């Protein structure tokens, strides 16, 4: 059993490929390696070069493996299907070019759900027909990733999307075959949603194929929920704190992974606002040092 620790471009504030605030992709690779990580995610497709030769040289130069990539798109919006499909194929091609294994599917933020992030009892729910179409779009992309590209596909719950709260995630898991859809489990988003990450892991460890490590500042979380703060504004307020400084029990998370014989990557994600006075390299180092201190070598 080997647990590898990686990081992701969102820890440097990269959420969208064409955002002019993004740091240079080469500097992100350099920082990631300097902070002690052995792997990195692709980030939004188009942020890093889609020419496999250019990216392969840069990864090798920094001693990094490509771990996986995320399709963070509006699966909830039938009018955006072409966008979802294009992002999925481009991401899959990039991943297979570099031997990466993990395709992560995330329903992006919906204006219908943004005001109730972290407020499960108040969140708008899809009607039956809308849910079925939504579920089927996720299943189609999962099947493409798993069967056409040979990737391990995981669903990732995300604040302010339509797969946010534990019952929605579990409903999807019950309705889509586990041969094509696993779980990319994000500790921080599960806490943000108001549920216990460790308890969920205990119930579903056999379906978790990939981990995102994120911690939550409980004071900022309580304020964001009470004030209906938008997701990116909450990021700017520091809702995602350094690992070990929030309410996620990472020693318990580690023990569950060990007990289950988990073999693979756990990726740190500390979403931040790049326009603010943040120090991603310092945070990346601190997070790596914390994980080493609790036994993630």
For position 231, which CATH number holds? Answer: 3.20.20.150
Place of tokens 């309410």: 247
- Using DSSP's 3-state secondary structure scheme, residue 264 falls into strand
Q: In terms of C-beta density within 10 A (0-12 exposed, 13-18 middle, 19 or more buried), how is residue 21 classed? A: exposed
Total domains present in the chain: 1
Q: What pLDDT is recorded for position 52?
A: 98
Q: What pLDDT is recorded for position 260?
A: 97
Q: Please provide the DSSP assignment of 5-54 as one string.
A: EEE-GGGGT--STT-TTPPPHHHHHHHHHHTT-SEE---STTSS-S-HHH
Instruction: In whole angstroms, give the CA distance from residue 123 to residue 34.
Output: 41
User: Domain range holding 113?
Assistant: 3-293
Instruction: In whole angstroms, give the CA distance from residue 272 to residue 157.
Output: 18
Low-confidence ranges of the chain (pLDDT < 50): none
Question: What residues contact residue 288 under an 8 Å CB cut-off, 6+ apart?
Answer: 5, 7, 35, 36, 37, 268
pTM: 0.97
Q: What pLDDT is recorded for position 1?
A: 66
């Amino acid at each position: 059993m080997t647990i590898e620790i990686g990081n992701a471009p969102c820890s440097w504030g990269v959420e969208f490929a064409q955002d002019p605030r993004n740091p240079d992709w080469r500097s992100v690779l350099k920082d990631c390696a300097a902070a002690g990580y052995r792997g990195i995610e692709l980030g939004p497709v188009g942020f890093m070069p889609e020419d496999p030769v250019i990216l392969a040289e840069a990864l090798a130069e920094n001693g990094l493996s490509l771990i996986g990539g995320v399709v963070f798109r509006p699966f909830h919006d039938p009018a955006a299907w072409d966008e979802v499909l294009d992002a999925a194929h481009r991401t899959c091609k990039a991943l297979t070019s570099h031997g990466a294994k993990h395709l992560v599917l995330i329903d992006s933020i919906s204006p219908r759900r943004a005001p109730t992030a972290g407020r499960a009892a108040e969140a708008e729910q899809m009607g039956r027909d809308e849910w079925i179409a939504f579920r089927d779009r996720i299943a189609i992309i999962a099947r493409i990733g798993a069967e056409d590209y040979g990737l391990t596909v995981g669903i990732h719950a995300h604040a302010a999307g339509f797969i946010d709260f534990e019952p929605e995630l579990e409903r999807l898991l019950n309705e889509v075959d586990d041969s094509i859809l696993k779980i990319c489990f994000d500790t921080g988003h599960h806490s943000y949603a108001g549920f216990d990450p460790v308890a969920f892991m205990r119930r579903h460890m056999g379906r978790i194929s990939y981990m995102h490590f994120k911690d939550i500042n409980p004071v900022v979380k309580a304020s964001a929920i009470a004030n209906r703060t938008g997701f990116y504004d909450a990021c700017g307020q520091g809702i995602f704190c350094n690992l070990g400084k929030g309410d996620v029990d990472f020693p318990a998370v580690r023990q569950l992974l060990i007990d289950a014989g988990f073999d693979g990557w756990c990726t740190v994600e500390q979403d931040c606002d790049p326009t603010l006075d943040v120090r991603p390299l310092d945070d990346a180092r601190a997070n790596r040092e914390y994980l080493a201190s609790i036994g993630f070598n």
